[in-house]
Chains A and B, each alone.
Chain A
Amino acid sequence: MDTLDRSRAPEVGTPPAMTFPEVEDYRLDNGVRVVLWERSALPLVSLELQLRGGASAHPAAQAGLAAFTADMIDEGTTTRTALEIADAVDVLGATLTSSAGYDAGHVRLSILRQKLREGLAVLADIVMRPTFPEAELARVRKERLDQVLQRSAEPAAVAEDAFARVLYGGDHPYGASLLGTRESLQALTRDDVVAFHRARYAPGQATLVVVGDIARAELDPLLVSAFDGWSGLGVDPAPLSAAPAPAQRAIYVVERAGAAQSEVRLGHVAVSRGTPDFYTLAVMNTILGGSFTSRLNAKLREEKGYTYGAGSVFDMRVAPGPFEAGAAVATPVTAPAVADFVSEITRLRDEPVPPDELTRARNFLALRLPQRFESVDDVVRRLSELVAHVVPLDFYAGYVAAVGDVDAQAVGDAAGRHLPVEHMAIVVVGDRSLVEEPLRALGLGPVVVLEPPAPAAEPLPPVQEEQ
């Protein structure tokens, strides 16, 4: 027999505070900046060598160059073949990856502490001495071309690429996918890769973020030894040109015949990471589409059942990045779902946020903070984001207080400035025969039909019907 009074939720009491250690921030003699967060709970070390300027450091016409270069650095060095590099990492039980985003290149190593010396030697080798062998270049280029081909069959990827292109146009680096296009990848030469590597993978462009069971006194000799002979300033990335002025609102439709769902994206070119409204936008977006109880998910999933999940994000970068709201919605409800997106964004702009919703959003951000620092890889990601976006490293020490200072007035003002719903682009990837007319009937703006991504790069083999 249950006699307990369960009618009220237990009081949660005072949340524990998280203390942040002083992060060491210094330079090696060759100019590499080192950011070190020592944490000795487990014998693990995670680190990122970050190179300034990713896809934003080359023209949009060379789309894919930053990621292609990152993909190529472990395909052979002056001392190791591609297979020897892979074997050297695997036998250490480590992971070593290289990739590029819009604003930075990332070489990441995650390894047991006692194997750090050997792991660093491989990392330094691929960063300092890649040879970009022609045969490996041809193989990796073909792999990436075939990824472009596969991406053209993924509705969410097609929506992301169309959205970026509509917002930024063909001349801005943020307007192209990081992978690049068939045309751009075919046009890239080995000289392009060599030149990009020379400009970017230099001590003067590099920051090494190290987190884990290692003190500076032990780390520095390892670094000096691993990066022996590495020098040079590289080339500072040029500032990005401004994104195109916002267009009149329009709905862009990409055909995917027979699709069970439509991939929907709405948004505009919003703010850079340096915006003074950072905390206000974090709280505002948590309310709009940044958590499970957010308005977009509550409306489109929990009230209407249109989707498995809806959300939104301010993708802040060095230059103004996109605000993007989106969901995959059932084909027959595509137009009503788009209308709900627009009305929820409009409502946030036009009506004050109730106090309980504001408190919940602030708590969700501030009280969850310790959970974002659980693993050494987590901490590397947090610090690397700060480095890439030129944010002071003591950022998180002031985070809880700054989030707590955001009030309803600030959220309302920020919504007015940063949610220009009349100018947002709306992208829909879906079955045109079923969604185009209902979308037009919404009266939100003209419907523009975009070409689907290019089909196969080469003819498919002949079909044999033997059945």
Chain B
Amino acid sequence: MTVEGGVDVTIPYTLFTLGNGLTVIVHRDTSLPVAAVNVWYHVGSKNEQPGRTGFAHLFEHIMFEGSAHVPEGEFDILLEGAGGVNNGSTTNDRTNYWENVPANALELALWLEADRMGFLLETMTQEKLDLQREVVKNERRESVDNQPYGSAFETVYEHLYPPRHPYHWPVIGSMDDLSAATLDDVKGFFRTYYAPGNAALAIAGDVDEAEVGRLVERYFGSLPAGPPVPAVQVPEATLASDRRVVIEDDVQLPRLYMAWHGARVYTDQDAVLDVLASVLSDGKSSRLYKRLVYDGQIAQDVSAFQNGQELVGSFWIVATAKPGVDLDELEVAVRQELERLVREGVRPVERERAVNGVETSFVRSLERVGGFGGKADRLNEYHFLTGSPGFVDRDLGRYRRVTEGDLSDAVRRFLLDRHAVRLDVVPRGRRGVRADGPAG
């Protein structure tokens, strides 16, 4: 599929599956002498149990601490010594790991990834677990506890999804659950989820496809397939009524969070809601920015976004109040704008602005082979979440098909006709409003 100006946004690839079930996706791009290795494991915090939250992410840390043939600390030492960088991340849905290396160091990166996929537990110790537990607790302190508004997202999730729902608890987990994690948990988790059959390996960059096939078979081919992965139980997530939550934090300005159940990632409605978010809050003329920030000057900032995820999505509107402005006033203004959008419809130029931004972003996303959001990462993401690494062709089409009518329909169907979670984050000592009352 091409965008204006004739550029093809397709990412050509070859795909093969090893005998043990490992999916391998290869994309050749010789613009720079760089190779990108990217591994996805289909496990995230959604696979955890209440009481053991944060484990998938804690485990991600442990994956960097050495395996049978890679002494502790050597993973990073070897990669840096070869001019490589690497990282990993965990979401509700999945865990990913990547290495970007000079093209000559591809084999090193594959050897390292294979060793921790196949031989992590041989050298696992209580000391490694305890140390990374402290690092993760500090990550939580830095990103949540000591960060203004840092606990807002996990608080909204807690109220948007019922207690047994896999999205109810935060990816980083609670301090208590992190403290409770045991060495047996580590071993069980690895054996259940970190097997070739539950993973995919994408390789992009200045690589030879035949050579990649040979190296992958050499290092990954003999790893045992692993057991079937337990299915995740997903109770229905609906809100029977609006929910209102107030928390105090070390902040100066109160902030309003509104969240609704949205659409699953990569569905057509997910694209509609993406475009809607842009119409609402991208640029000075966007509906909410103009009303709250530019004209009304009752908000310091406002953002709307569609958070499409594997099991279910959510749609968010977040606005920070100007000093002296009540959060109720912000919610009233937001709802008036949503109603006006349904009543008056969306002008073609509003849709055009949003979709043109998406088209540019598809071209720009072809620039990087590695890292988070690079081509190797996107091939794996499409593979896991749509079943086809080639989904990029249909992905852009989802956005092009969005009509003005789709946008106002989505406001009614996903926002106005549904209940919302409203979270107020207020400065300490300023909890001046009723909690759990009706919203709006």
Contacts and interface: CB of A to CB of B under 8 A. Distances in A.
B367 A371 contact: no
A153 B7 CA distance: 45
B141 A260 contact: yes
B118 A463 contact: no
Contacts of B282: 90
Given A87-B285, A87-B353, A91-B352, A44 B141 contact: no
Contacts of A153: 148, 250-252
B411 interface: no
B69 to A, nearest CB: 5
A261 B141 contact: yes
Interface stretch (A10-18, A122-130, A317-325): A10-18
B32 interface: yes
9 pairs of A and B residues whose beta carbons are closest in the complex: A367-B83, A305-B134, A93-B356, A16-B33, A93-B360, A86-B284, A375-B367, A260-B145, A308-B139
Interface stretch (A164-172, A358-366, A411-419): A358-366
Contacts of A461: 324, 326, 432
B138 A307 contact: yes
A82 B85 contact: no
B135 A113 contact: no
B80 A293 contact: yes
Contacts of B360: 93-94, 111-112
Given A83-B284, A150-B300, A364 B353 contact: no
Contacts of A112: 3-5, 359-360, 363
Nearest to A256: B250
Interface of B: 3-7, 31-34, 68-70, 73, 76-78, 80-85, 100, 102-105, 107-108, 111-112, 114-115, 118-119, 130-135, 137-139, 141-143, 145-148, 206, 218-219, 222-223, 250-253, 282-285, 290, 294, 297, 300, 320, 322-324, 326, 349, 352-353, 356-360, 363-364, 366-370, 427, 429-435
Nearest to B115: A6
11 contacts: A2-B223, A12-B108, A15-B105, A90-B283, A146-B300, A150-B300, A153-B252, A305-B132, A364-B83, A374-B34, A467-B431
Given A261-B141, A359-B81, 17 more contacts: A1-B222, A10-B111, A12-B105, A44-B364, A44-B367, A113-B5, A149-B323, A150-B300, A260-B141, A261-B142, A261-B145, A302-B135, A308-B142, A330-B137, A360-B77, A375-B367, A463-B430
A113 B360 CA distance: 10
B73 A293 contact: yes
Contact of B80 (A13, A292, A460): A292
Contact of B433 (A110, A114, A261, A466): A466
B176 to A, nearest CB: 15
A228 B352 CA distance: 30
Contact of A12 (B3, B82, B349): B82
A328 B141 contact: yes
Contacts of A258: 250
B82 A91 contact: no
A437 interface: no
A3 interface: yes
A301 B135 CA distance: 6
Contacts of A303: 131
Contacts of B353: 87, 90-91, 93
Nearest to A286: B80
Contacts of A9: 70, 78, 108, 111-112
A464 B432 contact: yes
Contacts of B102: 12, 15-16, 367-368, 370
A210 interface: no
Contacts of B118: 2
Contacts of A15: 33, 82-83, 102, 104-105
Contact of A376 (B131, B300, B367, B369): B367
A408 interface: no
A7 interface: yes
A4 interface: yes
Nearest to B150: A260
A465 B432 CA distance: 5
Contacts of A143: 300
Contacts of A8: 69
Nearest to B436: A467
B68 A6 contact: yes
A460 B324 contact: yes
A43 B114 CA distance: 37
A460 B430 CA distance: 9
A12 B105 CA distance: 5
B73 A7 contact: no
Contacts of B356: 90-93
B142 A4 contact: no
Nearest to A86: B284
B285 A16 contact: no
A62 B41 CA distance: 52
A10 B143 CA distance: 37
Contacts of A139: 294, 297
A370 B252 contact: no
A58 B326 CA distance: 38
Contacts of A233: none
A153 B33 CA distance: 44
A429 B76 CA distance: 31
Interface in A95-110: 110
Contacts of B82: 12, 15, 363, 367
Contacts of A93: 353, 356-360
A220 B223 CA distance: 58
A293 B84 CA distance: 12
A223 B148 CA distance: 44
Contacts of A465: 431-432
Contacts of B103: 16
Nearest to A365: B83
Nearest to A74: B284
Contacts of A460: 323-324, 427, 430
Given A114-B4, A150-B253, A464-B432, A14 B142 contact: no
A152 B253 CA distance: 11
A272 interface: no
A86 B323 contact: no
A329 interface: yes
Given A14-B104, A150-B148, A467-B435, A360 B80 contact: yes
Contact of B32 (A6, A114, A146, A373): A373
B252 A86 contact: no
Given A86-B285, A146-B322, A261 B138 contact: yes
Contacts of A308: 135, 138-139, 141-143
A292 B252 contact: no
Query: Most chain-A CB neighbours within 10 Å: which of B103, B139, B142, B222?
Result: B142
B69 A328 contact: no
A466 B431 CA distance: 9
Given A308-B139, A374-B367, A41 B31 contact: yes
Interface string A298-310: 1001110111100
A306 B139 CA distance: 10
A256 B147 CA distance: 12
A154 B250 CA distance: 9
B283 A370 contact: no
A429 to B, nearest CB: 10
A256 B143 CA distance: 16
Interface in A363-388: 363-364, 366-371, 373-376
A305 B135 contact: yes
A390 interface: no
A457 interface: yes
B252 A149 contact: yes
A169 to B, nearest CB: 27
